[in-house]
Amino acid sequence: QDNGGHLFSYAAEPKPDGQIQNKYINLDHGDPTMYQSYWKQMGDRTDVVISGWQSVSYFSDTKTVCWFLEPGFANAVTRLHKLVGNAETGNRHIVVGTGSTQLFQAVLYALCPNDAPDPMSIVSAAPYYSSYPLITDCLKSGLYKWRGEVDDFNKEAPYIELVTSPNNPDGSIREAVFNGSGQILVHDVAYYWPQYTPISSKADHDIMLFTLSKSTGHAGMRLGWALVKDEAIAKKMVKFIEISSIGVSKDSQVRAAKIMDVINDSYEDSKTSNESKRFFDYAREEMAKRWSQLREVVNNGQAFSLPTLPVGECNFSHQTFATQPAFAWLKCEQVDDCESFLKKHKILTRGGVHFGSSKKYVRASLIGHEEDYNEFIRRLSLINSVESP
Ligand code: PMP
């Protein structure tokens, strides 16, 4: 069953049948449930109490460009970037969104003039994040149109290139590739956090999109933020969010601020840092463990291969390591349709075609529950021992 035409589909998951060995392992979505066990360990430290009288107004701070941005959330975001050193926050507007998914739509709205004769081309080098074409074309907008990675559009006229780095699905570290004079860049830096890749410098682009989903792992809070240099663009993004949802949940922003500040405090306060593992150390080690198991099992046979990813020193952790993405971009070496092949083994992944690539590839999430991850590794190992001569 094809499920990749939906932004987010449960349809592909057949009913569970008890034992983990018989279960379908769903690695299709990048659902960050891996992080749940860490936050459980933190007990009540991240609790917030929100009373009935709170979050009554639509407004948060009418003096800022983003009038629905909670000051505590803005403060926590700035603090976290300062701590990690992954993005420049000075001279920028923060725009909060219902996930970075809403911010992506707000960016398209803000960057495309509404009186242009033709829709603006939206491009990204393949393999690109499979939601981009779906979001871009779902309302058949007259403002913009998905062109994927075609190279024959007019590069003198304005166009938007999405630069995702580290990239979803393959984890590559990217820069703009089309390089025309009409280029407008949007940087999706959802995975530029020290559990996934060494932080080599502060990202300093005009428009950067971040999300709580992949940083602290709270996808269910549905919060993202954009760091935007140009005030007019920030204002238009805010306008879009005003039109589409009249702002963003304050309750979520208050909770997110608490969680981010627990991380911030743990690195700043040497007393708490001795008590338990700090978030980014935990998450980096967990990703390292998963990647080393995955590489070992893949290298033990000929059925699969994985991309080689760059090694670097991280300015935040002072560790040297290779990018260890949230997804495995797995290639089946011996079959043409990798997604169907893995599905026969009750492993659900997203096929390469949805990312503008070939059926030989699939994207498998590595940030799910440990139990599912271990079962995934066990099944890959079995497949490898049967399929490899
Ligand atoms: N951009 C990229 C590259 C992503 O992988 C994701 C989540 N899969 C998003 C944006 C959307 O994140 P959010 O949950 O904040 O909408």
State which of 7, 104, 211, 363 you would mutate to test the pocket of ligand 1, scoring each by most atoms of that ligand within 8 A of its C-beta. Answer: 211
Domain with CATH 3.90.1150.10 in the chain: 20-39+278-387
Going from the C-alpha of 1 to that of each of 12, 13, 14, 206, the distances in angstroms are: 6, 10, 10, 40
Peptide bond just before 71 cis, omega within 30 deg: no
**224 close to ligand 1 (CB < 6 Angstrom):** yes
Name residue 298's beta-bridge partners: none
User: Quick check: 11 pLDDT over 70?
Assistant: no
When pLDDT is cut at 50, 70 and 90, the band that residue 25 belongs to is very high
List pLDDT tens digits, range 195-206.
999 999 999 999
Which of 105, 10, 126 is closest to 363 using CA atoms? 126
- List the structure tokens of 4: 């990749």
How much is the average pLDDT of 217-230?
Answer: 98
How much is the average pLDDT of 127-153?
Answer: 93
**186 close to ligand 1 (CB < 6 Angstrom):** no
How much is the average pLDDT of 20-47?
Answer: 94
The CA distance from 221 to 250, in Å, is 11
Cα(211) to centroid(ligand 1), Å? 7
State which of 129, 134, 241 you would mutate to test the pocket of ligand 1, scoring each by most atoms of that ligand within 8 A of its C-beta. Answer: 129
Residue 364 DSSP symbol:
E
Domain with CATH 3.40.640.10 in the chain: 55-267
- At residue 273, the pLDDT reads 52
Cα(190) to centroid(ligand 1), Å? 6
Long-range contacts of 199-202 (CB under 8 A, 24+ apart): 199/84, 199/85, 199/86, 199/314, 199/315, 199/316, 199/317, 200/312, 200/313, 200/314, 200/315, 201/85, 201/315, 202/81, 202/85, 202/86, 202/87, 202/88
CA contacts within 13 A on the Cβ side of 313:
2
Q: Closest ligand 1 atom to the C-alpha of 129?
A: 3
Q: Considering the chain, what percentage of its residues have pLDDT values greater than 90?
A: 87
- At residue 134, the pLDDT reads 97
**341 close to ligand 1 (CB < 6 Angstrom):** no
The CA distance from 120 to 143, in Å, is 6
Give SS3 for 100: helix
- List the structure tokens of 321: 């390591």
When pLDDT is cut at 50, 70 and 90, the band that residue 274 belongs to is low
Q: 4 near 134, Cβ under 8 Å?
A: no
- List the structure tokens of 117: 């004769």
Question: Residue 372, by phi and psi: left (phi above 0), alpha (psi -120 to 50) or beta?
Answer: alpha
Burial degree of 335 (CB within 10 A; 0-12, 13-18, 19+): middle
User: Quick check: 352 pLDDT over 70?
Assistant: yes
Q: What are phi and psi of 213, to 5 degrees?
A: -55, -40
Span of 157-161, 180-184, 255-259, 384-388 with lowest mean pLDDT: 384-388
Residue 206 DSSP symbol:
S
Span of 10-24, 105-119, 265-279, 334-348 with lowest mean pLDDT: 10-24
- At residue 19, the pLDDT reads 72
Residue 179 DSSP symbol:
-
State which of 35, 131, 193 you would mutate to test the pocket of ligand 1, scoring each by most atoms of that ligand within 8 A of its C-beta. Answer: 131
Going from the C-alpha of 92 to that of each of 61, 177, 211, 234, 315, the distances in angstroms are: 17, 25, 17, 9, 23
Cα(215) to centroid(ligand 1), Å? 11
ipTM, 2 dp: 0.99
Residue whose Cα lies nearest atom 8 of ligand 1: it is 30
Q: What are phi and psi of 375, to 5 degrees?
A: -70, -35
CA torsion 65-66-69-75 (nearest 10°) is -50
- The CATH architecture annotation of domain 55-267 reads 3-Layer(aba) Sandwich (3.40)
- List the structure tokens of 79: 């603090």
Residue whose Cα lies nearest atom 12 of ligand 1: it is 100
Residue whose Cα lies nearest atom 15 of ligand 1: it is 99
Name residue 211's beta-bridge partners: 224
**What share of residues in the chain are helix, strand, coil (percent, to 5)?**
40, 15, 45
**195 close to ligand 1 (CB < 6 Angstrom):** no
Q: Which residue has the higher pLDDT, 314 or 385?
A: 314
Can you tell me which residue has the tokens 């000051």?
A: 71
List pLDDT tens digits, range 294-314.
999 999 999 999 999 999 999
**190 close to ligand 1 (CB < 6 Angstrom):** yes
Is 3.40.50.2300 the CATH number for 20-39+278-387? no
Cα(367) to centroid(ligand 1), Å? 13
∠ CA 112-100-181, rounded to 5°: 35
User: Quick check: 270 pLDDT over 70?
Assistant: no
- List the structure tokens of 36: 């749940």
When pLDDT is cut at 50, 70 and 90, the band that residue 10 belongs to is very low
- At residue 232, the pLDDT reads 98
The pairing of beta strand 311-313 with beta strand 144-148:
unpaired
The CA distance from 10 to 26, in Å, is 9
Average pLDDT, the chain: 93
When pLDDT is cut at 50, 70 and 90, the band that residue 21 belongs to is confident
Alpha-helical runs (H) found in 332-369: 338-344
**339 close to ligand 1 (CB < 6 Angstrom):** no
- List the structure tokens of 238: 């805010």
